[in-house]
Structure 1
Amino acid sequence: MTPAARAEETLDNIAREIAECRRCPLHETRKHTVPGEGKPRASLVFVGEAPGASEDAQGRPFVGRAGQLLTDIISKGMKLRREDVYICNVLKCRPPDNRTPNPEEVLQCEPYLLRQLALIQPKVICALGLVAAQTLLKTTEPIYKLRGQWHNYHGIAFRVTYHPAYLLRNPSDKAKTWEDVKEILRYLGEQS
Structure 2
Amino acid sequence: MRAAVEELRATGVAGFPPGGITPAPATRNEPPTIMAAGGGDQATDAHPSLAALRAEIGDCQRCKLHQGRTHLVFGVGNPNAEIMFVGEGPGQDEDLQGEPFVGRAGQLLTEIITKGMKMRRADVYIANVVKCRPPNNRNPEPEEIAACEPFLLRQIECIRPRVLVALGKFAAQTLLRETTPITRLRGRWFDYHGIKLMPTFHPAYLLRNPADKKLVWEDIKQVLAEVGRPL
After TM superposition, the score normalised by the length of structure 1 is 0.94
Unaligned ranges ≥5, structure 1: none
Quick one: percent identity of the two aligned structures? Answer: 59
Cα distance in 2, alignment partners of residues 125 and 22 from structure 1: 27
Is 1:82 paired with 2:121?
yes
Instruction: Please name the residue that 2:48 is paired with.
Output: 9
Paired residues for 1:175-186 under 5 Å: 175-186=214-225
Distance 1:6 1:167, change over 3 A: closer
Instruction: Please name the residue that 1:46 is paired with.
Output: 85
What is the Cα deviation at residue 31 of structure 1? 0.3
Q: Which has the higher contact order (CA 8 A, sep 6+)?
A: 2
Cα distance in 2, alignment partners of residues 182 and 6 from structure 1: 27
Is 1:66 paired with 2:105?
yes
- For the Cα contact (< 8 Å) 1:31–1:57, is it kept in 2? yes
Secondary structure class of the residue paired with 1:160: strand
Is 1:126 paired with 2:165?
yes
Cα distance in 2, alignment partners of residues 169 and 189 from structure 1: 31
How many corresponding residue pairs? 190
Distance 1:6 1:163, change over 3 A: closer
Give the greater-gyration-radius structure (CA).
Answer: 2
After TM superposition, the score normalised by the length of structure 2 is 0.78
Name whichever structure is richer in helix by fraction: 1
Cα distance in 2, alignment partners of residues 7 and 140 from structure 1: 37
Instruction: Please name the residue that 1:162 is paired with.
Output: 201
Instruction: Please name the residue that 1:145 is paired with.
Output: 184
Cα distance in 1, alignment partners of residues 46 and 190 from structure 2: 25
Cα root mean square deviation, aligned: 1.9
What is the Cα deviation at residue 145 of structure 1? 1.5
Secondary structure class of the residue paired with 2:196: strand
What is the Cα deviation at residue 6 of structure 1? 11
- For the Cα contact (< 8 Å) 2:85–2:164, is it kept in 1? yes
Secondary structure class of the residue paired with 1:174: helix
Cα distance in 1, alignment partners of residues 44 and 121 from structure 2: 19
**Paired amino acid for 1:177:** V
More deviation, 174-183/130-139: 130-139
What is the Cα deviation at residue 190 of structure 1? 7.1
Please give the per-residue CA displacement for 1:98-146, whole angstroms capped at 9, x wherever unaligned: 1111121111110010000011000000000111111111111111121
Instruction: Please name the residue that 2:34 is paired with.
Output: none
- For the Cα contact (< 8 Å) 1:34–1:51, is it kept in 2? yes
Please give the per-residue CA displacement for 1:140-183, whole angstroms capped at 9, x wherever unaligned: 11111211111110111110000101111111111110100111
